[in-house]
Amino acid sequence: MVTRLYTHPVFLEHLTPPGHPERPDRLRAIERVLDDEAFSALDRVKAPEGDQATILYAHPENHVARVRAAIPETGIASIDADTSASPKSWQAAVTAIGAANAAVDDVFDGRAANVFVAARPPGHHAEKTTAMGFCLFNTAAIAARYAQKRHQAERVAIVDWDVHHGNGTQDIFWDDPSVLYCSTHQMPLYPGTGAKSETGAGNIVNAPLAPRTGSETFRDAFLSRVLPSIDNFAPDLIIISAGFDAHHRDPLAEINLTEEDFDWATGQLMERAARHSGNRLVSLLEGGYDLQGLAFSVAAHVGRLMKG
């Protein structure tokens, strides 16, 4: 079975102000590295149009209406100090959701062994009612609920190794024990949440990492907190909130991972997906702001997914 890759040209048309780290060039860097013949077996598919109704799986209607109203006809509008929207941002965000939901369909219907979605804007900071941290809607949360509603998944695990805590995903599933949320992230760092003591309904597992720690501390956190929680939970699907800003080159944080760490963590989650989830694994791009660090990390991650 193949590893599938979803992309779409509209993901380049979500524009942010000049100098903003979350920029279209991130996807161009990923596209370039995945052009190498080492990735010729990737099953490349253009993301389908998203179903807007599925946004309501994770957000109330007033949030959807607020984001829609914030989309400008021209130029770039700010939603908060970090988060902005351009005329094509709505279509980009909805297509990112369409790709993530299609990836869930693919792994449940046996069309792909696993899937990587290279989309923007990212999603893990979007809370139920707040767009923030470069994120408009919480794509991973919507995809988890989509798996439950459309494919009768009882338990979904979301593993978030972005260097920032996924406050949005934690907020959405805070009192929902059918979704396990595990996060490794630098602390202190934006957005300030993600302490070990934040445990929701026993379904939230935070593994904060001190600034300037590296591979060993990250792998320890994975082995001692993330993986045992997954084994305990026995999910029907694993979704990765795959941010690559814990790479040592990244300008937004101070964790010193290398691409080998993302290769290793991917392998560990594939092993758990094989054990518990019928191999079902969907990976969604979140952050990663140094173009070389991002490209090398995605190459290691996707290369490992393709090894099956």
The answer to whether 287 contacts Zn ion (rule: CB under 5 A) is yes
* Max CA pair span of the chain: 49
Q: Are 218 and 246 in contact (CB under 8 A)?
A: yes
Residue 145 and residue 231: Cα distance in Å, rounded? 21
Burial class (CB in 10 A: 0-12, 13-18, 19+), 62: exposed
Strand partners, 209: 186
Strand partners, 117: 6, 284
Report the nearest approach of Zn ion to the CB of residue 246 (Å): 8
Q: In degrees rounded to 5, what are phi and psi of residue 46?
A: -75, 130
Side-chain half-sphere of 240: how many Cα atoms within 13 Å? 30
The answer to whether 293 contacts Zn ion (rule: CB under 5 A) is no
Report the nearest approach of Zn ion to the CB of residue 164 (Å): 4
The answer to whether 164 contacts Zn ion (rule: CB under 5 A) is yes
**What is the CA 13 to chain-centroid distance, rounded?**
19
Binding segment toward Zn ion, per CB under 5 A, in 52-60, 135-143, 237-245, 266-274: 237-245
Report the nearest approach of Zn ion to the CB of residue 238 (Å): 19
Among residues 162, 171, 176, 261, the one that binds Zn ion under rule CB under 5 A: 162
Please say which residue, 4 or 185, places its beta carbon nearer to Zn ion: 185
Among residues 50, 98, 121, 243, the one that binds Zn ion under rule CB under 5 A: 243
* Residue whose C-beta lies closest to Zn ion: 287
Q: Which of residues 33-72 bind Zn ion (CB under 5 A)?
A: none
Let me know if 125 is a catalytic residue.
yes
Q: Which of residues 245-264 bind Zn ion (CB under 5 A)?
A: 245
Residue 272 and residue 238: Cα distance in Å, rounded? 9
Interface map 104-143 toward Zn ion (x if CB under 5 A): ----------------------------------------
**Of 221, 303, 218, 236, which Cα lies nearest the Cα of 272?**
236
Question: Tell me, what amino acid is at 263?
Answer: D
Residue 52 CB neighbours (<10 A): 15
Binding segment toward Zn ion, per CB under 5 A, in 87-95, 142-150, 168-176, 283-291: 283-291
Report the nearest approach of Zn ion to the CB of residue 116 (Å): 17
Catalytic residue among 125, 247, 276, 301: 125
Report the nearest approach of Zn ion to the CB of residue 162 (Å): 4
Catalytic residues: 125
Q: Which residues bind Zn ion (CB under 5 A)?
A: 162, 164, 243, 245, 287
